[in-house]
Amino acid sequence: MWTVAGTHLLLLSLSLSLSLVLCGQAGTYWTYSGSLGQDRWAESFPACGGDLQSPVDVETSSAQHDPSLTPVRPLGYSQPGNDLFTLTNNGHTVEMSLPGTMALEGLPWRFSAVQLHLHWGSGGQGGGAEHLIDGQSTNAELHVVHYNSDLFPNVSAALSQQGGLAVLAVLIQTGEETNPAYQNIFNYLGNVRYTGQKVSVPPFNVQMLLPKQLDRFYRYNGSLTTPPCYQSVLWTVFSERVTVSYTQMERLQTALVAGAPGSAHVVPLQDNFRGTQPLNGRLILTSFPPDSAPAFSVGEVCAVVVGVLCGCGGLAVTVHFIVNRLRSSSSWDVLPSVRTAVQPRGQEPKEPKQNVVFKTTPDPEREEGPPKQ
């Protein structure tokens, strides 16, 4: 009978197995550049030369809106339990194990979480994310990896099968404010500086790593972005970006190295992103019309309404004050050019003309515009 500790060890073992596969087959080494760089991956890993490779450049004008796409629904992300996460430097990226109690719904099947990892640049050349949106890159990208637990018993069985994996892609940009959710990871980077080092991380709300708008995304069929490049991934690339501070991004770009302590071949762990791959006729679906504006929350709508009302109230007070000031002043001094003409004795003043009332009702003959989407 499995104990809680035994189950955790099994999940950790599966996560480490996936890590080894994502880093390449046993005995085969690869890099992002140089003689073993991504241009040569297909020589050792044939799937890397396939027609369904990732990442891709999402052209929003060509993406097809599919109203049947439902929002991604993370399960257990906000309450990961008491088991510690394991953060590892595997020589290609920093990854963190996730408990199998975390899962995704809103996809064709249920997908259970395995691990998350990051891709980033070096700061000098810009970029670092793997997926592009209309040719534009961000500084880094988070991938949350899941396997199809409806069809397969574990991640190893699902890894190379069509529809076996689902990956959430979060584009990360830089700003002024520190992101506390990502700090749960960045705080421990110094403990995994060298390849093979691991550190335990207290569990935290993983959903805070994701964008707030989980209903706005692009979806397509693709592959792992590292060898062996199995074409088994259902990708969800969120439209909304997540922001971390400049200091946090600099730490990610400089804290890690590839190589063991004391090795003569230690190099900075940077620019660990794959170039975009051809679509080869693949269709990218979008959960929202490409030209639609982001939806506002109830709180945001209320804030706008209150702001407008306050602004109108302030304007009314200002106008009332000005009118009263004008009335309190002598009309002969303020408006000498509009003094009333003296009427002859015995002649009644003429009635002023009625103000013109402009038509404010809609013209029935006017053609209505197209309905809003």
Catalytic residues: 92
Class of domain 4-298: alpha beta
Instruction: State residue 362's pLDDT score.
Output: 44
Domain boundary assignment for the chain: 4-298
| Alpha-carbon gap, residue 239 to 210, rounded angstroms | 11
Q: Can you give the pTM of this predicted structure?
A: 0.74
Handedness of CA 324, 328, 334, 335 (dihedral sign): positive
| Alpha-carbon gap, residue 203 to 223, rounded angstroms | 29
pLDDT along the chain (373 residues), means of 10: 41 43 57 95 97 98 97 94 94 96 96 98 86 97 98 97 98 97 98 98 97 98 98 98 98 97 92 98 94 50 50 55 50 35 44 36 43 45
Q: Which residue has the tokens 């960045």?
A: 186
Q: Is the bond leading into 80 cis (omega within 30 degrees of zero)? A: no
List, in order, residues 6 or more apart from 29 with CB less than 8 Å away: 36
Cα distances (Å, whole numbers) of residue 118 to 94, 165, 185: 6, 17, 11
CB 120 within 8 A of CB 272: yes
